[in-house]
Amino acid sequence: MALSCSRLCSRLSLIRLSGLSSNRTTNGFYLLDISHQSRLPLCRYYTSSNVRRGIGRYVSSRLQRANAKYEGFLKRRFPRFYQLHHTFVQGFKMLFQDARDARRIKAKMLVDGVKFQDLHYREMEKLRQFRRDLIKAIPLVVISIPPFANYLVFILMYFFPRQLLIPHFWTPQQQLEFRRFYHSYRAQRHQAVLKELEYTSHQVKNGHLRGLLKNLCAKVQSGGNPKVSEILAVKSLFSGAPLAVDALRSNHMRYISSLLFLTPRLPGFLIGRRLNSHALELLQLDRALSRLGPHQLTDSELRQACYVRGINADSLGTNQSREWLSQWLQVSSALKDSEVSLLLHCIVLLSANYPSAPSRH
């Protein structure tokens, strides 16, 4: 290819020179220079890289045109299947975008020496959520790699969307429905956690603190919303036995794991380690949110922040959601790392009856 191009260029240069007899000189170097100058721009158009780019653009445009026709056909003839297809495509786009964002944040941490607890709130939340989504999305990505396997994914999306898919692949209606389902599942563990907390309160040696803790449990069990001051009054009990994370009974830890949507089917010591890790991560997330200011959150970010901390904000107004999140941050900002067990219990203490009972600060 290169030889033929060179030969063609030299012939064209000779033809060009034959028409320049009036400008011909007796100096042979002039002829050589013209031949060399005329060869370069012509050969540039015949390089293999340009050919590959042209073919790539052609194939890409044809694929986009075919995909547009295919989607138009589905939309006209099979509207429900088109919705699944559209959700599938958009879900993968969002997942890949999250992967790029996570990679950028990780590079920032590596290059600039930024620790996780020093990240911006949105960057911290992006990493936290991406890790959880990726674990669940890996089987789906692997299944969809072989040719035509995406049709199997469509079947899974249709019959088992909640069990197998991450929120990227849920329709807006499914997101509302599944959030209600998961919150209902979480709410079913509220009474069990309160009973375990009340049972453990009998082991508290300090009589005054034991009475405060019992009153706190009784208030929530009777349908009341505790004050922030009432919760913080017993925070010292959660830094050591019997209410620190690693000192809780196995059943107690399993009920709390369900509040965080973690599997309770693990040995007790592993559950304790996972709970402590998630509680510290949530505490760091709260500190980053306090630095940002909850009023800076968009409506969707506000709903997600409330949902992560134990309440479904889809049924609440914006002011109620901000009020509840403000109460949570008041408790969280007063806690040390050693008191994160109380933060886990606040998933029940602050959200079990909100907003059915009057809110008090």
Question: C-alpha dihedral over 89, 90, 96, 98, to 10 degrees?
Answer: -160
**Residue 266: predicted pLDDT:** 87
How many other CB atoms are found less than 10 A from the CB of residue 242? Answer: 17
Structure tokens at 156: 């899974």
The pLDDT confidence band at residue 26, using thresholds 50, 70 and 90, is very low
Structure tokens at 264: 């309770």
The pLDDT confidence band at residue 20, using thresholds 50, 70 and 90, is very low
Domain boundaries defined on the chain: 2-46, 78-170, 187-349
pLDDT tens digits, one per residue of 236-245: 999 999 999 9
Contact of 317 with 219, CB cutoff 8 Å? no
Least reliable range by pLDDT among 29-38, 93-102, 318-327, 332-341: 29-38
pLDDT tens digits, one per residue of 216-275: 999 999 999 999 999 999 999 999 999 999 899 999 999 999 999 998 888 888 999 999
Size of the chain, expressed as the number of residues it contains: 361
Contact of 245 with 344, CB cutoff 8 Å? yes
Residue type, 336: K
Span 56-82, average pLDDT: 67
- What average pLDDT is seen over the chain? 81
Structure tokens at 346: 């606040």
Structure tokens at 261: 């949507």
The pLDDT confidence band at residue 1, using thresholds 50, 70 and 90, is very low
Residue type, 325: L
pTM of the model: 0.75
Question: C-alpha dihedral over 29, 31, 32, 38, to 10 degrees?
Answer: 140
